[in-house]
Amino acid sequence: MKIKVGIIGATGYAGAELVRILLTHPMAEISAISSVSFEGKKLSEVYPSYKSLCDMECKTQDEAIEKCDVIFAALPHGLSQELAAQCDALGKAFIDLGADFRLESEDDYKEWYNGEFLDKELHKKAVYGLPELFRDDIKEKRVIANPGCYTTGAPLALAPAVKKGLVSTDGIIIDSKSGVTGAGRKPSQGSHYPELNEGFHAYKAGSHRHTPEIEQTLSRLSGKSVKITFVPHLLPVNRGILSTCYARINPGVTKEQIRKEYEEFYKDEFFIRLLSDGENADIHNIKYSNFCDISLHVDGRTNTLVAVSAIDNMVKGAAGQAIQNMNIIFGLDEKTGLVIVPPAF
């Protein structure tokens, strides 16, 4: 029997991407979709590319929850907690693509999102869904906090180095560049074509909301508090995030040791592609896929590890990873429905 899937927020970019991938998932079927902005409209009216593929009508949130085994919520922060509680009471799985359950500290959530935990016990049930790092926590759970895009690419680039003590956790710098789909479907001046095209700029330097989430993951891996400098940039492209991470190599650690530890750490991870020496991670090569490409570089003059990751922010950074989490909690092979070949050109 197939898993009955509901998507709340199906007309946003992440929601539409969930639909695109789930339409070919052999063990799941989309049973209901919901959209406050387009309630009563067919998804194919909002996205004509889905014509004859998904002509489902957008229903209410309650209708979506009632019909399904698992709910994906692709909503802005602050809108998922009550839905999660509703699903939890009904014994349904809830995978949140927003930020409401990502931070373990309510104080951090208040500081960075100006919100509060509405149900502290429910937050204790929630687990952080970055499979390659926390797979055992995810199995058979029912409330999953799906990581964001920056908070997937950067930690995956640094995880082996931090966990194995190859680098100092002081002074880590993460420089990330994202495609504009990360800003969501709602238009803004910053994503307006004449403003974006032929430009390239940093934004929210040192103050981006993903900072504490990245720090939380790296702290958990290293076993001590980690503070980072994080600066995101906006690329004039639709998809992709390239994260260039700088960390000082600990005394006595060699380039060969770094390579060996990364190979061992990720040897069984299908969606992590560790590139050979001399290769460079490139967002072109992971587009539309759930892969994370990682390239390693060492600046011998400054004894600095430069770890670079490339992901598709809408797939591994959102919808694909959410489906990977669904596969885990329902006991499926993680790759099910997610072996998507990136286009060659």
pLDDT, tens digit, 9 for 90 and up, residues 64-107: 999 999 999 999 999 999 999 999 999 999 999 999 999 999 99
Query: Of the CATH numbers 3.40.190.10, 2.40.128.20, 3.30.360.10, 3.40.50.300, which one belongs to the domain with range 150-313?
Result: 3.30.360.10
Kind of pairing between the strands at 228-234 and 241-248:
unpaired
The residue among 239, 212, 289, 208 whose CA lies nearest residue 20 is 289
> Across residues 287-296, what is the average pLDDT?
98
pLDDT digits (tens, 9 = 90+) for 233-290: 999 999 999 999 999 999 999 999 999 999 999 999 999 999 999 999 999 999 999 9
> Across residues 302-327, what is the average pLDDT?
98
pLDDT digits (tens, 9 = 90+) for 107-125: 999 999 999 999 999 999 9
Q: Is 87 a catalytic residue?
A: no
Q: Share the mean pLDDT of the chain.
A: 96
Report the C-alpha dihedral over residues 270, 274, 280, 284, rounded to 10 degrees: 0
Instruction: Give the C-alpha separation, 243 to 77, whole Å.
Output: 23
The structure tokens 């004859």 sit at 52
Cα of 178 vs its chain's centroid, Å: 13
pLDDT band at residue 189, thresholds of 50, 70 and 90?
Answer: confident
pLDDT over 70 percentage in the chain: 100
Report the C-alpha dihedral over residues 71, 77, 82, 85, rounded to 10 degrees: 60
Q: What is the pLDDT of residue 181?
A: 87
Instruction: Give the C-alpha separation, 12 to 43, whole Å.
Output: 11
Enumerate the β-bridge partners of residue 296: 307
| CATH level 3 topology of 3-147+316-329 | Rossmann fold (3.40.50)
Domain map (residue ranges) of the chain: 3-147+316-329, 150-313
The structure tokens 């990581």 sit at 147
Neighbours of 44 (CB within 10 A): 16
Residue 53 has pLDDT above 80, yes or no: yes
pLDDT band at residue 193, thresholds of 50, 70 and 90?
Answer: confident
pLDDT digits (tens, 9 = 90+) for 133-161: 999 999 989 999 999 999 999 999 999 99
E strand intervals along 18-155: 28-34, 58-59, 70-73, 93-96, 127-128, 143-145
The residue among 227, 130, 129, 222 whose CA lies nearest residue 174 is 227
Instruction: Determine the 3-state secondary structure of 94 from DSSP.
Output: strand
Residue 313 has pLDDT above 90, yes or no: yes
Q: What angle do CA 160, 170, 224 make, to 5 degrees?
A: 65
Q: Which of 54, 58, 87, 149 is catalytic?
A: 149
What single DSSP character describes residue 300? T
pTM of the model: 0.96
Q: What is the pLDDT of residue 185?
A: 77
Residue 197 has pLDDT above 90, yes or no: no
Q: What is the pLDDT of residue 89?
A: 96
Instruction: Give the C-alpha separation, 106 to 82, whole Å.
Output: 16
* Contact between residue 98 and residue 76 where contact means Cβ atoms under 8 Å apart: yes
